[in-house]
Structure 1
Amino acid sequence: MLTEVQAGPYTIRGISVGGVYTSLQVPELDVVLDAGVPLRSFATTDHLFLSHGHSDHASALGALLGIRGLVGKHSPAQVFLPAEIESAVKEALAALGRLHRSAISMETIPMLPGDTRKVYRDLWVRAFRTHHAGPSLGYQFLKRVTKLKPEHQGMPGEEIARLRREGAGIFDEVERLELAYATDTLSKVLETAPSILESRVLILECTYLDQKWTVEETQERLHTHLDEIIARADLFQNEALVLMHFSQAYGPEQVHDIIRDRVPPALRERIKVFAPSSSRWFG
């Protein structure tokens, strides 16, 4: 069974275990985050985002794209990814296509930290640097909406319509920070990309949870420890904080218990634990 949590207005579903597999879907945004395992129900999603090239996050991309034809999706999926790994991903999928004797169709969209690209309609994505081995990115999804300037608010509708026809600049474009995704990263991403703390929903890795691994050992492995999140509890302005990518050294029930027991109540009430409620991980 896939794990599923509700975080604000968004459903986060999929599976994630550190070093094994991570692939998440946010159906309300029509996005898939990483492709560490090919899930059939994810294949209808047109927009995929790779955080980095490690196998537990990217090795199932070809299989996932290959399923699309079986579920009636014949247009190329868009794959957003760190610019530095674009050529390697294309080479890997070309080799896989030769093995299958069938070309794998996709459109790659290379991203660098700070790049902002339109996904569709009013949804945009901004890439930010994460801190891991090799090129890696996090993604912040935002909606750009127009809002009447304060000096024109309360104006009669017909007057607003007249000003619009005349081309008057009566609207401002406003960015609403909806959801951010940061996996496989040092906790310093919370300092280098502070706007993710203001996203309505933040999906954040939390690989190690207790004294089995110290913060220093966690940092050596280029991951984030629960202690580091607790130390920054007052910084999180998010409506929901989804913690994921737990080490397989913990069983799912342990993950739930440790977070419940260790996180301060003010933050704990906003945390969604992305782990099964059963005693075993998927697979």
Structure 2
Amino acid sequence: MLTEVQAGPYTVRGISVGGVYTSLQVPELEVVLDVGLPIRSFAGTDRIFLSHAHPDHASGLGSLLGIRRLMNKGTPQVFLPAEVEAPVQEALAVLSRLHHTNMEVRTVPLRPGDVHKLGHDLYVRAFRTHHPVPSLGYQFLRRIAKLRPEFQGLPPQEIARRRQAGKALFDEVDRLELAYATDTLARVLETEPSLFDSRVLILEATFVDARHTVQAAQERWHLHLDELAARADQFRNEALVLMHFSQAFAPEEVRARVRERLPAALHERVHVFAPTSGRWFG
């Protein structure tokens, strides 16, 4: 069964277990984040974002494309680190020959700092995550017009009159909506401080208690819950979705450790992306 949480205005649904599989969907943004497992209900989404090419995040891509073909869906866009574009295309070419079917995608190679327009006012910015292989995080934002401070006291009819006269009354600003960072060191919170200001932040927290030290987590290029607790007062997000927990912890253990180790002011904004009862899927 898929996990689903409501984080601010966004629904995050899917499945994530560190080293096993991660595949998420945010339907309000019409995006799939990683494809470690082909989820049939995700196949209608035309924008797929790969954080990196490790199997637990990317090996389900071919199967998802096969499901799309059964649904008569067109060619999707696959956003991915520029360094892995050629290998991913090669892998899909091999799968196409094996399955005697077309697995064509439109790859969008990105490097840290690249910004790509997705829709009317929706953009994505790629940022660097810290992992032993080429990897990216993604920050989704909306570019909106905001009335300049000096004009904010004007009545609507005066604003309209000045706009008709060609006056520049508005600035274009970025409203940070949702960010996704997985398989990374906590250093990403220093190199990308705007993550603290995203309305919703989806962040890995692979290790959650003393069975694995912070140093051990860093040696595995992953985050420890204690590293988030130490930065608790920096998270200004409306909602924080923690995911990618190690299978060494049962879901109920994860929830208990998050409750115990995070300050109440942060915990009340945290959504644990794990089953509410029972075991991990599979």
TM-score range, shorter chain: over 0.9
Q: Residue 152 of structure 1 aligns to which amino acid in structure 2?
A: F
One-letter identity of the residue aligned with 2:13: R
Cα RMSD, aligned residues only: 1.2
Give the TM-score of the pair, scaled to structure 1. 0.96
Deviations 1:229-251 (A, max 9, x none): 11111111101111000000011
Partner of 1:133: 132
**Aligned position for 2:168:** 169
User: CA–CA distance in 2 between the matches of 1:149 and 1:264?
Assistant: 38
Cα distance, 1:72 vs structure 2: 3.9
TM-superposed deviation, 1:45 = 0.7
Q: Which residue of 2 aligns with 1:57?
A: 57
Q: Determine whether 1:278 maps to 2:248.
A: no
List runs of 5+ in structure 1 lacking aligned partners: none
Mean alpha-carbon deviation: is it higher for 33-42 or for 64-73?
Answer: 64-73
Q: Secondary structure at the match of 2:217?
A: helix
Structure 2: which amino acid aligns with 1:172? D
Indicate the SS of the match to 2:118.
strand
Q: What's the secondary structure of 1:203's corresponding residue?
A: strand
Letter in 2 for 1:90: Q
Q: TM-score, normalised by structure 2?
A: 0.97
Aligned residue number for residue 79 of structure 2: 80
Q: Does 1:145 align with 2:144?
A: yes
User: Which secondary structure does the structure 2 equivalent of 1:37 belong to?
Assistant: coil
Distance 2:79 2:165 in 1: 39
Distance in 2, matches of 1:270 and 1:157, equals 37
Question: What residue identity is the alignment partner of 1:34?
Answer: D
* Map 1:192-231 → 2, pairs under 5 A: 192-231=191-230
- Name the counterpart of 2:232: 233
Residue 266 of structure 1 aligns to which amino acid in structure 2? A
Please list the CA deviations of residues 155-184 of structure 1 after superposition, one character each: whole Å capped at 9, or x if unmatched: 344443343344332211111000000000
The aligned residue for residue 41 of structure 1 is: 41
Aligned to 1:112: 111
Which whole-Å CA distance do the structure 2 matches of 1:193 and 1:235 have between them? 13
Match of 2:23 in 1: 23
Answer with 222-231 or 252-261: which moved more.
252-261
The 2-side partners of 1:228 and 1:211 are apart by: 12
Look up the SS of the partner of 2:173 in the other structure: strand
- In structure 2, list runs of 5 or more residues that go unmatched: none
In structure 1, what is the Cα distance between the partners aligned to 2:101 and 2:119? Answer: 28
Query: Could you tell me how far apart the structure 2 residues matched to 1:277 and 1:166 are?
Result: 58
Q: Could you report, residue by residue, the CA deviation over 1:198-247 in whole angstroms, capped at 9, with x for unpaired residues? A: 10010000000111111111100000001111111111110111100000
For residue 279 of structure 2, what is the amino acid of its counterpart? Answer: R
